[in-house]
Structure 1
Amino acid sequence: MTKKIKIFSLLLLVVMVMAACSDNNASGDSDADSGSDSGGDSKAANQLLKIGNDQEPAGLDPHKVPAHSSIRIYEKVYDSLLTFDENMELQPELAKEWEQPDDTTYIFTLREGVTFHNGDKMTAEDVKYSYERILDEETASIAKSYFDKVESIEVMSPTKIKFNLSETYAPFLSYVASTNAAIVSEKVVEENGDLMQVAVGTGPFKFEEWKPDNYVELSKNEDYYKEGQPKLDGIRYITMKDESARLAAIRTGEVHLTTLSSQSIPLAEKNDKLDVKGYQSTEYSYVGFNVDKEPFDNKKVRQAISLAVNRQEVKDIVWKGDAILSGPIPESMGKWAIDVSEEELYQHDIEKAKQLLVEAGYEDGFETTISTASTYPDMIDTAQLLQQQFEKIGIKADIKQLEWGQYIDTWKSGDHEMLVGRNSSGSDPDRSISFFFSTDGSANVWGFSNDKIDSLSEKGRTTTDKEKRREIYNEAQKKLIETSPNLFLVSPKKFFIVRNNVENYTPSANEPENFNETIIKQ
């Protein structure tokens, strides 16, 4: 009898365990927290951070591609000479130190023993090649205008390099810290023609594989110069353009981290296995005009449209209130931003807008097209809301939704009439003004040219006194609002939704995706 009881008890225990496992799997919240993966439950699988990515990358070349969907990947593969910390203070990266003997000379001393992911040693020659590639017209680098004051670059030794500038240039070090000034390997560029489909840097993660419309995978750089970093064994960016798919994936644990719009945040907050991490971004939403095309070559038309736009509605409807009014320099840039709330062209005034259209010769309004990206709900919602607002002053706008690659091509070529999008202010006010709106700015895709903006841009770049620079950029912002090549709308709050077994990760405006210390708790 005792033996039978023991056998019965053992069978009962097995049944209970199986039932418990069955209940866990049927709960609708199956846990990727366990670290299981199609490749088994190895350490690599356990420490593979899976991210639901809202967009396919547009290429991997840090010198050419400005799309956020690309930057969030290649910024982990490449390093620059300098970087910023969470307080926006310059810190050494590939350069362990730097000095400025005079106003136009910068000398960087490189870290020794740093290697590219292919095993090649990184030297001052690579730094020289990278900057010359950026400055080469044929590269068509997005960062070219950052360094147009660089007159010559001298390799002083394998670990020391000198930059000679043509004149005093206040934002130089800030741009050296840009991801778009990443140090690349000449050998890799020559072997591949460009870096759009390959990525070999010195950063904390190595590029492994890109399966289009599926995922991009990075692996840990075991030889990273920062000892003990990264903690993760890899990152997989899984393409999930549909927000409902990302919401389902983060709920069930298919991914560890993703982004959601303001509309979906309440749904995520109800799940006790998820953390919502928000921060005020350095981005602003905008509608831009091709000022080479009628009627947008007329300033009064652009001003009329600004008065027709109800920015409060954009904030409340598109972003559910999770945004603040913005000019060309968003509020997250601190003292560099102006208070735009009292600016005349930010006041919603339909009658004055109609009067300006009459003065411009468009008393009956006109027809136009608003182009935007089909895979970003906020851009579509903004375009649709603007379409309704424009109707009140007689402007009939069709909306053209473009796939991401086509949208980027349209942005670059200026082949648009009105374009809805988002920009980032970067780390220096020069980017917000010169980069986007000076006549020769690398990202001036609007055909816009204004002598006053060019003059203020030049003054801001060559003035080192911070208070005087602030006054210059205040004036430049007001001039941009008055001339309206873009209408600056709002600066949104951004959200990451994170499984609560992901530790040591806190997004910030400057470093939204620093995973060097991140681990997945088992």
Structure 2
Amino acid sequence: MNKAKKWLSLSLSGALLLGLLAGCGGGSETTPAPETTAPVEETAPSEPVAGGILRYGTDSEPTGFDPHTVSEEASLRVINQLYETLVATNADMTFYGELAESWEIPDDVTYIFHLRQGVKFHSGREMTAEDVVYTFDRVLGKTEAGDIGALGSSSSYFGGIESVEALDPYTVQFTLAEPNAAFLNNLTSNYGAIVDKDVIEANGDLMRADGGTGPFQLGEWLPDNCVELTKFADYWEADRVVLDGITYYLIGDESARLAALRTGEIDIANLSSTNVTAAEEEENLAVLGYQTNDYIAMGCNLSTPALQDKNVRQAMSYALDRQAIINIVYNGQAAVSSMVPPAMGHWSLDVSTMDLYQFNLDKAKELMEAAGYSEDNRLTLKLAAGLMDSLRQAAVVIQQQLAQIYIDVEITNLESGEYVDIWGKMSTPEAGFDLMVVNDGAGTDPNRAISFFFGSTASANVFGFSNERVDELCALGIATTDEAQREEYYNEAQEICIDDCTKLCIASPMKYFVTSTRVHGFSPSAADSSNFRDTYLTQ
């Protein structure tokens, strides 16, 4: 039985679901499940109630917890609780110091950070400037133990760093090769998480080890079942953390997650818009909706001969009825999007009037016929989708829409680990797939949104797109702090990427957390970097 089927069967049986929740410390006396679904008091107490385990129903299996190499959502949900960065952003995207209490920028290429003193890793060792130096040596491929530089995961973020120096135990200086307007933004990503050198040297990597400073530390991980985090007693802001821990239960079926919320077996879960209406009708549940910086897209493997023809790629863009996909997959709760989603404000192009975003079957068929295809000579393409509900559903709608323009799509839904492995090969024949439906995060700066996924040498440019002008525009955009000039550069880059159609961006969805009304102090983040540091439970 594959993982998806295992989660589904666990989810659809009440008895088995209770067994699942009993793992990883489930059923703790500090957080008993309510015996009924009667509504609780809506008014939160004036002071947080100490203790309790937050029970999170998650939709997919983490692949590991190394912040410098992992990018899929299920893992990042956990990583965000374990690790911290020098700086972070508030809900309004302004910066504040996290592991750095302050910083200064004496010139365009120099950043000096003053670290908080007394911050401890989960190992108990104090974090110093040498750990910051080690962290960035690691992501840039300058270390021996735990070297991940060959993976290139952080090249689009930190490749412009010339040096990182410890000026004293609590002061670190970054010197850039050239000005980088997105540098502070980049530091807020998981790739900028500060890690414990000793833990990496002892374990080889951080996929199943914990080298963080965050409010929670890694406890038990039972694959295909649950992940347990416990409160870190020596956290530098220990008085701020109220929960005793968090347990992530793997419940792949969305209807089962909603059922577990209704019966009080879990406290929080991510749900699609399809089930939000039902959740809103429950008096003991609260719905938190937010516009994300994520988007779904369909990428083309350019090693597939048929997809090297731009006519075919553009034909698929005309054949995609993006609004229909939004209506079916997201219940209308999403916005048509480029690779810079509307949540990023003025950085995002208004694609609603762009020609290649218009649903036009006649134009699509004309381009396919120009490429040599017809009803008597149909093209067959293999499409890979992940286990996220939205990716599976979008794949089916895409299959139906492309069937109208002489393209037969064969869908395979992959498990998380296999999906990530294939994703990294999607510009090569070794992938075994011609198309892939992806859910990508644009981050908080347009340079991340474009150069990270479309730069010719970028690690996340897995579909093989390459355009010298886009590379040039991204280089120009990162080198100036003039926002109007940056917007001009990135708008042109978006237009080129859209015209090429290697990656057909579709929609940026609203996302929803549904919580028990006893959950307080939790605010979702548009960049999906939500942290439970301030969350607490009422009984």
TM-score (norm 1): 0.90
In structure 2, what is the Cα distance between the partners aligned to 1:38 and 1:304? 53
- Mapping for residues 292-371 of structure 1, pairs under 5 Å: 292-363=303-374, 364-371=377-384
- Structure 1 residues 37 and 213, CA, compared in 2 at 3 Å: closer, same or farther? closer
The Cα of 1:512 is off from its aligned counterpart by 5.8
The Cα of 1:37 is off from its aligned counterpart by 5.8
Q: Structure 1 residue 238 and structure 2 residue 255: aligned?
A: no
Q: Which residue of structure 1 aligns with residue 15 of structure 2?
A: none
Q: Structure 1 residue 411 and structure 2 residue 416: aligned?
A: no
1:206-243, Cα deviation, whole Å (9 max, x unpaired): 11111111111111122222252211110000111111
The Cα of 1:114 is off from its aligned counterpart by 0.6
In structure 2, what is the Cα distance between the partners aligned to 1:443 and 1:224? 33
Q: Structure 1 residue 55 and structure 2 residue 68: aligned?
A: no
Q: Which residue of structure 1 aligns with residue 76 of structure 2?
A: 71
User: What SS is found at the alignment partner of 1:348?
Assistant: coil
Q: Which moved more, 1:221-230 or 1:178-187?
A: 221-230
Q: Supply the AA of the counterpart residue of 2:98.
A: E
The equivalent position to 1:118 in structure 2, one of 98, 110, 123, is 123
In structure 1, what is the Cα distance between the partners aligned to 2:28 and 2:125? 30
1:286-317, Cα deviation, whole Å (9 max, x unpaired): 10011122111122211111001101110111
Q: Supply the AA of the counterpart residue of 1:439.
A: S
Q: Structure 1 residue 466 and structure 2 residue 483: aligned?
A: yes
The Cα of 1:200 is off from its aligned counterpart by 2.4
Q: Supply the AA of the counterpart residue of 1:413.
A: K
Question: In 2, are the aligned partners of 1:99 and 1:106 still within 8 Å (CA)?
Answer: yes
Question: In 2, are the aligned partners of 1:200 and 1:207 still within 8 Å (CA)?
Answer: no
Question: In 1, are the aligned partners of 2:56 and 2:267 still within 8 Å (CA)?
Answer: yes
In structure 1, what is the Cα distance between the partners aligned to 2:115 and 2:458? 30
User: What SS is found at the alignment partner of 1:321?
Assistant: coil
1:344-403, Cα deviation, whole Å (9 max, x unpaired): 101111111111123333343411111101x22211111111111111110111111111
Q: Structure 1 residue 176 and structure 2 residue 181: aligned?
A: no
Q: Which residue of structure 2 aligns with residue 490 of structure 1?
A: 507
Question: In 2, are the aligned partners of 1:367 and 1:396 still within 8 Å (CA)?
Answer: yes
Report the structure number with the largest CA radius of gyration: 1
- Mapping for residues 29-108 of structure 1, pairs under 5 Å: 38-41=27-30, 47-108=52-113
- Mapping for residues 183-194 of structure 1, pairs under 5 Å: 183-194=194-205
1:1-22, Cα deviation, whole Å (9 max, x unpaired): xxxxxxxxxxxxxxxxxxxxxx
Q: Which residue of structure 2 aligns with residue 4 of structure 1?
A: none
The equivalent position to 1:381 in structure 2, one of 374, 379, 393, is 393
Question: In 2, are the aligned partners of 1:204 and 1:229 still within 8 Å (CA)?
Answer: no
The Cα of 1:510 is off from its aligned counterpart by 3.6
Question: In 2, are the aligned partners of 1:66 and 1:142 still within 8 Å (CA)?
Answer: no
The Cα of 1:277 is off from its aligned counterpart by 1.0
Q: Structure 1 residue 391 and structure 2 residue 403: aligned?
A: yes
- Mapping for residues 153-302 of structure 1, pairs under 5 Å: 153-302=164-313
The Cα of 1:141 is off from its aligned counterpart by 4.7
- Structure 1 residues 457 and 362, CA, compared in 2 at 3 Å: closer, same or farther? farther
User: What SS is found at the alignment partner of 2:221?
Assistant: strand
User: What SS is found at the alignment partner of 1:254?
Assistant: coil
Question: In 1, are the aligned partners of 2:80 and 2:531 still within 8 Å (CA)?
Answer: no
Question: In 2, are the aligned partners of 1:205 and 1:218 still within 8 Å (CA)?
Answer: yes
Q: Which residue of structure 2 aligns with residue 446 of structure 1?
A: 463
Q: Structure 1 residue 372 and structure 2 residue 385: aligned?
A: yes
Question: In 2, are the aligned partners of 1:438 and 1:454 still within 8 Å (CA)?
Answer: yes
In structure 1, what is the Cα distance between the partners aligned to 2:293 and 2:299? 18
In structure 1, what is the Cα distance between the partners aligned to 2:172 and 2:453? 29
In structure 2, what is the Cα distance between the partners aligned to 1:236 and 1:311? 36
1:74-125, Cα deviation, whole Å (9 max, x unpaired): 1111111110011001110111111111111111111111110111010111
1:158-179, Cα deviation, whole Å (9 max, x unpaired): 1111111111111111101112
* Cα root mean square deviation, aligned: 1.8
Question: In 2, are the aligned partners of 1:171 and 1:430 still within 8 Å (CA)?
Answer: yes
In structure 2, what is the Cα distance between the partners aligned to 1:41 and 1:173? 40
Unaligned runs of 5+ in 2: 1-20, 33-48
Q: How many residues were matched structurally?
A: 487
In structure 1, what is the Cα distance between the partners aligned to 2:196 and 2:269? 31
User: What SS is found at the alignment partner of 2:124?
Assistant: coil
- Structure 1 residues 45 and 225, CA, compared in 2 at 3 Å: closer, same or farther? closer
Q: Structure 1 residue 437 and structure 2 residue 454: aligned?
A: yes
In structure 2, what is the Cα distance between the partners aligned to 1:248 and 1:493? 21
Q: Structure 1 residue 151 and structure 2 residue 168: aligned?
A: no
Runs of 4+ in 1 over 2 A off after TM superposition: 36-46, 358-365, 510-514
Question: In 2, are the aligned partners of 1:129 and 1:186 still within 8 Å (CA)?
Answer: yes
Q: Supply the AA of the counterpart residue of 2:380.
A: E
1:233-277, Cα deviation, whole Å (9 max, x unpaired): 100001111112211111100000011121111221221100111
User: What SS is found at the alignment partner of 1:238?
Assistant: strand
In structure 1, what is the Cα distance between the partners aligned to 2:82 and 2:460? 24
Question: In 2, are the aligned partners of 1:39 and 1:45 still within 8 Å (CA)?
Answer: no
The Cα of 1:42 is off from its aligned counterpart by 8.0
Q: Supply the AA of the counterpart residue of 1:84.
A: T
Q: Supply the AA of the counterpart residue of 1:64.
A: T
In structure 1, what is the Cα distance between the partners aligned to 2:51 and 2:235? 21
Q: Supply the AA of the counterpart residue of 1:201.
A: G
Question: In 2, are the aligned partners of 1:53 and 1:238 still within 8 Å (CA)?
Answer: yes
Amino-acid identity (%): 42
Q: Supply the AA of the counterpart residue of 1:79.
A: E
In structure 2, what is the Cα distance between the partners aligned to 1:371 and 1:230? 41
Unaligned runs of 5+ in 1: 1-31
In structure 1, what is the Cα distance between the partners aligned to 2:134 and 2:276? 45
1:58-87, Cα deviation, whole Å (9 max, x unpaired): 110000000110011011111111100110
Q: Which residue of structure 1 aligns with residue 497 of structure 2?
A: 480
